[in-house]
Amino acid sequence: MGEIVNLRQARKAKARVVAAETAAVRRAQFGRSKAGVAGEKAERARAARVLDGALLEVDVKSGPADETVPGEPSPPTQPFP
């Protein structure tokens, strides 16, 4: 005579095993450790600081610098048809 098995419990145990295997695959595929996330965040912050340090200050009120040479006429503008 075989052992008496509760089918509901066996189904749930099998589902837990399958879910654990799926979770392990997904962790390896998509997951990152907290240290990895923190390191990437620190690298983005460092890159932003470097970029801000290299930024030339632009006077917002006057707009972009005029590239024409003083004393020369500006290029003609074309009216819209």
Cα separation of the two ends of the chain: 96
SS3 content of the chain, % helix, strand, coil (to 5): 55, 0, 45
Domain boundaries, the chain: 7-50
Mean pLDDT within 35-43: 91
How does the average pLDDT of the chain come out, rounded? 83
- For the stretch 56-78, pLDDT in tens is 776 666 555 556 566 676 666 77
pLDDT at residue 81 tops 80: no
Q: pTM for this structure? A: 0.39
33 or 69, greater pLDDT: 33
Q: Is 49 helix (H, G, I), strand (E, B) or coil?
A: helix
